Chains A and B, each alone.
Chain A
Amino acid sequence: MKKAIIDSLKKYKWKILLQIIFIGINIYLLTYPAKIVGNIVDMLYNLNENKQEILNNTYYLIGICIVLLIIRIIWKYFEIYINRAVERDLKTNLFERFLKLKLKDIQNIKNGEIMSYFVKDIMEIRNIVYRILSHGVRIVFTFVIAVYQMIQGVNLSLTIAVMGPILIGCYLVIKIKKYVEISFKKSQERFTEMSEYIQESTDSIRTTKAYSCEGEQLKEFIRKNRKVRQSNNTVDVYSNLLTMCLNICFGICYSISLLYGSKLVIDGVITVGELVTFNGYIGLFVNPVNWIPGLISRFKRAQIAYKRLDKIYELEIEKINTKSNINKEKLEGNITVQNLNFNYPGVIDKALENINIELNKGETLGIIGTIGSGKTTLMNLLTRLYSIPNGKILIDGKDINEIPIDVLRNNICYITQDNFLFSSSLKDNISLFKDDYKEDEIKESTKKAVVYEDIQKMPEGINTVIGERGGDLSGGQKQRVAISRAFLKESSILIFDDTFSALDNRTSEKLIENIQDLSDKKTCIIISNKVSDVKYSDKIIVLDNGNIVEKGTHEELIKNNGIYSEFYNQQSTKAEPSFLA
Chain B
Amino acid sequence: MKSQTVQRIYKMLKPQKKAIIIISILAIIINVGEVIKPYLIKVVIDNFLSEGIWQKGVMTIGIIGSIYIAIVLVGNILDFIVSTATSMMGENVIYSIRNKLYKYVQYANIPFHDRTPSGTLFVRITSDVEDITTFFKDVITTFIKDIVMIIALAVMMVSLDYKLALVCFLIIPIVAITSTIITKISNNVREYSKKVKTKVNIFLAESIYGVKLIKIFNRQYEKEKECEKLCTRYLKSRIPTAFTEGLLVAMMLIFENLGVSIIIWASVNHLFGINLNVGVIYIFITYLKQIFEPINRIVENFETIQEAMVSINKIYDILDHKEYLENFEEGIELEEIQGKIEFKNVWFAYEGENWILKDVSFTIEPGKSIALVGRTGSGKTTIINLINRFYEIQKGEILLDGINIKQINLRSLRKKIGVILQDPFIFAKTIKENIELNENLTDETIMETLRLSSAEEFVNSLPNGIEEIAHERGTSFSAGQKQLLAFARIFAHNPSIFILDEATANIDTKTEELIQKSIDKISKEKTSIFIAHRLSTIVNVDKIIVLNNGEIIEQGSHNELVQNPNGYYSKLYNAYYSNLTQ
Contact = CB atoms under 8 A, between A and B. Distances in A.
Interface of A: 33, 37, 40-41, 44-45, 47, 51, 54-55, 58, 61-62, 65-66, 68-69, 72-73, 75-77, 79-81, 84-85, 87-88, 91-92, 95-96, 98-100, 103, 106, 111, 114-115, 118-119, 194-196, 198-218, 221-222, 225-226, 228-229, 232-233, 236-237, 240-241, 243-244, 247-248, 251-252, 254-255, 258-259, 262-263, 265-266, 268, 272, 275-276, 320, 322-324, 326, 370-371, 383, 385, 406, 409-410, 412-414, 416, 420, 422-423, 432-434, 468-469, 485, 489, 501, 529, 570, 572-577, 579-581
Interface residues of B, number: 144
Given A218-B106, A229-B91, A420-B210, A255 B239 contact: no
A245 B217 CA distance: 60
B268 to A, nearest CB: 5
A432 B281 contact: no
Given A370-B509, A423-B206, A580-B373, A209 B414 contact: yes
B134 interface: no
Nearest to B373: A580
Contacts of A216: 437-438
Contact of A244 (B80, B227, B285): B80
B558 interface: no
Given A79-B242, A81-B242, A236-B87, A258 B580 contact: no
B216 A252 contact: no
Nearest to A491: B217
B550 interface: no
A244 B76 contact: yes
B224 A196 contact: no
A484 to B, nearest CB: 13
B439 to A, nearest CB: 9
B65 interface: yes
Nearest to B69: A255
Interface stretch (B43-51, B166-174, B334-342): B43-51
B60 to A, nearest CB: 10
B264 A114 contact: no
B21 interface: no
B576 A95 contact: no
Describe A's contact surface by its main secondary structure: helix
Given A47-B268, A207-B425, A259-B61, 9 more contacts: A41-B281, A65-B258, A66-B254, A98-B211, A201-B106, A209-B414, A210-B388, A214-B107, A434-B219
A258 B44 CA distance: 8
A485 B53 CA distance: 93
A529 to B, nearest CB: 7
9 contacts: A75-B246, A77-B242, A95-B224, A99-B220, A103-B211, A119-B201, A212-B410, A236-B83, A410-B218
Interface string B480-509: 000000000100010000000000101011
Nearest to A245: B76
Describe B's contact surface by its main secondary structure: helix
Interface string B288-301: 00000000000000
A37 to B, nearest CB: 6
A197 to B, nearest CB: 9
Nearest to B94: A229
Given A432-B222, A433-B222, A55 B427 contact: no
Given A221-B99, A229-B91, A37 B118 contact: no
Given A85-B235, A202-B118, A251-B76, A99 B214 contact: yes
Contacts of A194: 126
B395 interface: no
Which residue, of B69, B216, B374, B478, has the highest number of chain A Cβ atoms within 10 A?
B216
Which residue, of B62, B113, B118, B221, has the highest number of chain A Cβ atoms within 10 A?
B221
A201 to B, nearest CB: 7
A80 B241 contact: yes
A212 B264 contact: no
B212 interface: yes
B84 interface: yes
A514 B327 CA distance: 58
A570 B223 contact: no
B54 interface: yes
Given A44-B267, A240-B80, A244-B76, A581 B375 contact: yes
B384 to A, nearest CB: 10
A229 B219 contact: no
A489 B219 CA distance: 13
Contacts of B75: 251
Contacts of B427: 200, 204
A243 B83 contact: yes
Given A41-B281, A225-B98, A414-B216, A433 B208 contact: no
Contacts, number: 380
A237 B85 CA distance: 9
Contacts of A574: 534-535
Given A61-B261, A99-B214, A115-B208, A433 B235 contact: no
A266 B54 contact: yes
A213 B87 contact: no
A215 B250 contact: no
A537 B532 CA distance: 33
B231 interface: yes
Given A370-B508, A575-B534, A576-B576, A251 B69 contact: yes
A69 B244 CA distance: 11
A258 B41 contact: yes
A111 B227 CA distance: 18
A252 B105 CA distance: 53
Contacts of B355: none
A549 B166 CA distance: 97
Interface in B333-373: 373
Which residue, of A61, A77, A106, A198, has the highest number of chain B Cβ atoms within 10 A?
A198
Contacts of A265: 49, 52
A201 B105 contact: yes
B562 interface: no
Given A75-B246, A207-B424, A209-B390, A248 B76 contact: yes
B411 interface: yes
B285 A114 contact: no
B72 A252 contact: yes
B271 interface: no
B215 A262 contact: no
Which residue, of A54, A79, A87, A433, has the highest number of chain B Cβ atoms within 10 A?
A433
Contacts of A91: 200, 227, 231
Contacts of B504: 577, 581
B542 interface: no
Contacts of A243: 79-80, 83
Given A203-B425, A210-B417, A573-B536, A58 B213 contact: no
B506 A529 contact: yes
B265 A248 contact: no
A409 B215 CA distance: 8
A247 B253 contact: no
Given A576-B576, A577-B504, A103 B54 contact: no
Contacts of A212: 328, 410-411, 414-415, 438
B249 interface: yes
Contacts of A210: 388, 414, 417-419
A340 to B, nearest CB: 19
Contacts of A47: 268
Interface string B250-261: 110110011011
B235 A88 contact: yes
Given A77-B239, A575-B534, A54 B268 contact: yes
Nearest to A84: B235
Interface string B504-537: 1010110000000000000000000000111110
A259 B215 CA distance: 73
Contacts of A54: 264, 268
Given A72-B249, A266-B52, A416 B222 contact: no
A233 B72 contact: no
Which residue, of B62, B65, B79, B83, has the highest number of chain A Cβ atoms within 10 A?
B65
